[in-house]
Amino acid sequence: MRHRFSPERIDAGIASAGVLLALPLVATVPGGLSGGRLALGLALTAIQCGSLYWLRRRPELVTAICVATGAGLIALHPYVGSLGAANIAVCGLASARPPRRSLVGLAAMVALAPLNLTAGGGVAQTLLAVAGPALSWAFGELVRMNQVRRCERLERVRVGERERIARELHDVIAHNLAVIVLQAGAGADVFDAQPEQARAALRAIDGAGRSALGELRRLLAVVSGDEPRAPAPSLAQLDALAASVRATGLDVELQVEDDGEPLPALVDLAAYRIVQEALTNALRHAHATRVQVRVRRSTDALAVEVLDDGSGTPGPGGRGLVGMRERAERLGGALEAGARTSGGFRVAATLPLESELIAAR
């Protein structure tokens, strides 16, 4: 069922109001029309104002109709040349089309101005015939530019959301699949000889799978606009994250210095994801045996550092590093990543506790 204020109803209302207001003015114009000239004037006025019904869908056609009927009305009487309907058409054309097209309609309207003089109109009437369409075009162009800027802002928001979701999916899937693959391989190696160790590997796979499913459900809830059932990951889950990595055989040492005050949610999530991705890289690509994770909070920033003793090279393509850097920079922070002179790889991020993005949330 259509809304009572649908665009079609609004257009019909504007066109009807234009006809009802313009016809009496034509019939009562001083020194006005009579007989056949009056009938022609009323017909041209009805066509001109009635055409506004299609202005939203066919602005070029409506402007052409208004120009043609306006020329006829000026020839009949200079004071009923357009009655504002043509100016509405020019405004609608400018709001819907770029200047290279809308200026054609404006030029056609302005070209009618000299007809006022030849039809007996004064200089003031002629100047009004120029100023009215020009101001209408300027207003329509302003509306169009505002619409363009709004669309650009929405597109930037959509792109940012797609990138954010892509980062979240990458972090969730990459980490948990890395744990699952390594544990599956380890479990298969000792399945007959050490069944208890194989069971531990299966439990680790079960935990990683459940964790991935929980985070995917949360992401899907965010995308669909529903309220997420599970809270977003945070540094409070760092011990569980480290335990899942230790289960693969990688030694993880945590050093967390915190004053107990809650972190901004965006900072908390970004710090967790950076640690998660750094551990995933150490696990999958660096072939590390030991990783140190240091988290320290100061008065205005959170410092995160992850050191491993692996090969000192990131994963193929470096998407994880790009995602970590984007997370830090999005919050107004910075991230450094590179090989250590003593061997291994280092990831260090500084995340401010106050920024425009945090304040906006």
From residue 183, give the alpha-carbon distance in Å to each of 250, 254, 292. Answer: 12, 22, 21
User: What is the predicted pLDDT for the residue at 358?
Assistant: 67
Across 277-305, average pLDDT? 88
Residue 203 lies in a domain: no
Range of the domain at 289: 234-361
What is the rounded average pLDDT of the residues 159-166? 77
Domain end (from 135, 152, 169):
152
Domain annotation covers residue 214: no
145 in the same domain as 32 = yes
107-116, 177-186, 216-225, 234-243: which has the minimum mean pLDDT?
Answer: 216-225
Residue 84 zone, left/alpha/beta (φ > 0; ψ -120 to 50; rest): left
pLDDT score of 1 more than 50: no
243 and 355, same domain (yes or no):
yes
Residue 309: phi, psi to the nearest 5?
-110, 30
220 part of a folded domain: no
Please indicate, yes or no, whether residues 34 and 142 belong to a single structural domain of this protein.
yes
User: What is the rounded average pLDDT for all residues in the chain?
Assistant: 81
187 is a domain residue: no
Q: CATH no. for residue 291?
A: 3.30.565.10
**pLDDT at residue number 111:** 85
> Are the C-beta atoms of residues 338 and 345 closer than 8 Å to each other?
yes
Mean pLDDT in residue range 322-343: 88
In this structure, is residue 246 part of a structural domain? yes
Between CA 228 and CA 330 the distance in angstroms is 23
- Pick from 154-158, 183-187, 299-303, 337-341: least confident: 183-187
Lowest mean pLDDT among 44-48, 107-111, 316-320: 316-320
Q: Note whether residue 139 is domain-resident.
A: yes
What value does the mean pLDDT take over residues 40-64? 89
Total tally of structural domains belonging to the chain = 2
Whether 311 contacts 343, CB under 8 Å: no
Percent of the chain at pLDDT > 70 equals 87
Work out the pLDDT band at 224, boundaries 50, 70, 90.
low
Is residue 57 a part of any domain in this protein? yes
- pTM value > 0.85: no
Asked whether residue 11 is assigned to any structural domain, the reply reads yes
CA-based nearest residue to 85, from 100, 63, 104:
63
